[in-house]
Amino acid sequence: MSETVIFGGKNLPDVYRDIESEVRRYCRAYPVEFGRAKGSYLYDRLGRPYLDFLSGCGSLNYGHNCEPIRESLMEYILSDGVAMSMDMYSVAKTGFLTALRDAILVPRQLDFHVQFTWPTGANAVEAAIKLARKFTGRANVIAFTNGFHGCSLGALGLTGNSSHRASSKPLLTQVTHLPYCDYFGPTVDTAAQIEKLLLDSSSGIDAPAAFVFETVQGEGGANVCSPIWAQRMQRLAHEIGALTIVDDIQAGCGRTGNFFSFEDLGIVPDIVIMAKSISGFGLPMSIAFIRPQYDIWNPGEHNGTFRGNNHAFITAAAALKRYWSNDRFATEVKEKAMLASGVVENIAEQYGLSAKGKGLLLGLEFSNTQDCAAVKEACFQDGLIIETSGPKDEVLKILPPLTISRSEFDDGLQIVRSALNKVHSSSRRLATVARAAT
Ligand SMILES: *Cc1c(COP(=O)(O)O)cnc(C)c1O
């Protein structure tokens, strides 16, 4: 048993300080030891509840230990269901693929093949890029400002944020980063710039294999692309012989009110990446949806041991059956999102911030990073887990479980308000002190 000692001012087991790598991150923002979790709450070792507005960065869309999902997993494990089968056929995989076809693909008239990649989002992104390169015979990939696609060497090449990129250079070469929708503000039409650049054989940008983008940039600061922008990217990509890859790892699985975030954008991407919440239970699982004409893989060409997490297949199938066999849940999420964005806009107005985001991926943008960090810290002290995002971590990201109740959501935002009050009054005090000193 490990000793409990004080380090970093907190009562934490010394084993973390002694042997866990310096790379650890979220634990530094939330320095408590979690034990139980249920619904919208995590509980620390002493039983103190924390409302979860981070939801495993969007990998717990149905909350913690969602009961119908948990029951199917327990039943499966207790019956000695196969746990790991690489990419062999299994009863659990049959159940998942069937549920996916029946609850998602057929009702939406979507014709996709499903590739099981390694169980992280980053690897599915890499699989998609490899496939687009193979199909087109081209190397260059178009990615976008503030995009986040993961931290493996290939996916990192597409990611914008320099604090991630700085770790290892050179990254995947032949990536061109272009301005995302509204990157220069609402008056600059970045789609027109991109069209001009890519249709000009003298722009110096090599013809790309693919355009890779998120419809809502979760890590990038809750930036949203418009339907017209997405449509123009898809039209342009096809005009120049490139594929569209939508990274739906964070914005998908219902986060914007539809199963796929592109459903209300008027596009059908050539490849769609899902990870995070696809298993429905926080278990690792990742897939690439591929339009059949692009599925030109040779057997085993993108191989990997852990592509058959049967426990994740079981929970993913249970989640699809429970939440996606009719449109009740989607409607509920859309209604919640509408209420939520109203409240967030109110808060923004009251405190001089900007409201951002879509669905239940919302953000409050601060004019300075310190205030945003102070609010996050004050929220945690009051029992709310909430993260920051954006290029300078200046956006407080509101990412509750989609299953959150109205009163839990109100409680969370009340904590945010009270944190804002504290931070505002202390920065007003500081401003007064500074004025008095001059
Ligand atoms: C989290 C995330 C990834 C990376 O997924 P991992 O499972 O962490 O590799 C990629 N793209 C987006 C949009 C994400 O939010």
The continuous run of DSSP H or E covering 189 comes out as: none
Q: Is 150 in the pocket of ligand 1 (CB under 6 A)?
A: yes
Q: What is the pLDDT of residue 4?
A: 44
Distance CA(405)–CA(8), nearest Å, equals 34
| Residues 116 and 307: beta-carbon distance below 8 Å | yes
- The yes-or-no answer to whether 32-65+327-437 and 67-323 have a common fold is no
Candidates 201, 213, 227, 197; CA nearest to 142 is 213
Domain layout of the chain by residue ranges? 32-65+327-437, 67-323
Tell me the CA–centroid distance for residue 116 and ligand 1, in Å.
15
pLDDT in tens, the chain (438 residues): 344 444 444 679 999 999 999 999 999 999 999 999 999 999 999 999 999 999 999 999 999 999 999 999 999 999 999 999 999 999 999 999 999 999 999 999 999 999 999 999 999 999 999 999 999 999 999 999 999 999 999 999 999 999 889 888 888 889 999 999 999 999 999 999 999 999 999 999 999 999 999 999 999 999 999 999 999 999 999 999 999 999 999 999 999 999 999 999 999 999 999 999 999 999 999 999 999 999 999 999 999 999 999 999 999 999 999 999 999 999 999 999 999 999 999 999 999 999 999 999 999 999 999 999 999 999 999 999 999 999 999 999 999 999 999 999 999 999 999 999 999 888 776 666 667 765
Q: What is the pLDDT of residue 1?
A: 38
| Among the four given CATH numbers 3.40.30.10, 3.90.1150.10, 3.30.1340.10, 3.30.465.10, the one describing domain 32-65+327-437 | 3.90.1150.10
Q: Is 250 in the pocket of ligand 1 (CB under 6 A)?
A: yes
The continuous run of DSSP H or E covering 129 comes out as: helix 121-136
Q: Is 215 in the pocket of ligand 1 (CB under 6 A)?
A: no
Give the number of the atom of ligand 1 that is nearest the alpha carbon of residue 151.
Answer: 9
Which numeric CATH code is attached to 67-323? 3.40.640.10
Q: Is 214 in the pocket of ligand 1 (CB under 6 A)?
A: yes
Q: What is the pLDDT of residue 10?
A: 62
* 144, 248, 250: residue to mutate for ligand 1 pocket, most atoms within 8 A of CB: 250
User: What are 84's two structure tokens?
Assistant: 């790991």
Burial category of 295 from C-beta neighbours within 10 Å (exposed 0-12, middle 13-18, buried 19 and up):
middle
Helix (H, G, I), strand (E, B) or coil at 331: helix
Helix (H, G, I), strand (E, B) or coil at 181: coil
Computed on alpha carbons and rounded to an integer, the radius of gyration of the chain in Å comes to 22
